[in-house]
Structure 1
Amino acid sequence: MKIKFLQSISSFLLAILILLSTSSFTIKKHFCSGFLVDSTIFTQVEKCDETSCFSTSETSVAQPDCCDDEVHLVEGQEVVTSKKIDDLDYEKQLILFTLSESYFYLFENIPAQFSPHKEYIPPILVTDIQILHQDFLI
């Protein structure tokens, strides 16, 4: 039961990993005066107000385009390749085999050891020994 549950969880996680590795997305960033204002993955970036780009002097001369937009494209894999175990050299095969065997033995059921005191029934007390000997814990 435990092994089937772990297999289903690991197969689900591997399917999600393959889905994420084959999909591509863009990261959009908006910089204003060299500082990062907004970054998004799926939506459009919010622009900063253009009043911060102008100088505060009386002439109000505009600085040359102080806002920048950057777009980073993260491309996914087009083809997912799989390799056979025979393509690996002997040392890697040996490491893979030993790791898989040690992982397999983690979930092997170990027989329960016999404990004689588990079903021990204490004797019935006729008199209370502490009261009989006047021995109290204080």
Structure 2
Amino acid sequence: MKKIFRHIASVSLAIMVLFSTVSWTVDKHLCMGRVMDIALFVNADDCGMEDAMTAMGIEKMENHCCDDESFTLEGQDDLKLSWDDFELDHKLFLVVFSQSYFNLFVPVEELPVPHEKYPPPNLVRNIQVLDQVFLI
């Protein structure tokens, strides 16, 4: 299950990087206010109104009913972050978080025992049993 989750996460991150770095161009051809064609990365096909006008013998007449619209979503070009780009609060958080995260993986044998050299006190009577106070 962990391996499948790791593969899904890596593929989704790769797709996210791809979509954020690619520039997207959408081109639309409108005829009489209605969308006739939409194209990504290339020019949209026209509706054939210019061909019909040349077939009827009308030359160089301004075509007021057709319109082409295009817009471009610019992708991110600079993906390198430097340590100087972060503010002091972010730097402090990253250092503290990484230090606490890596300390989670210290083996149990190396953890210090705070009362290792001090023996427990001798019990004369078991006070919990005498007072009938038990931890549940």
TM-score by length of 1: 0.47
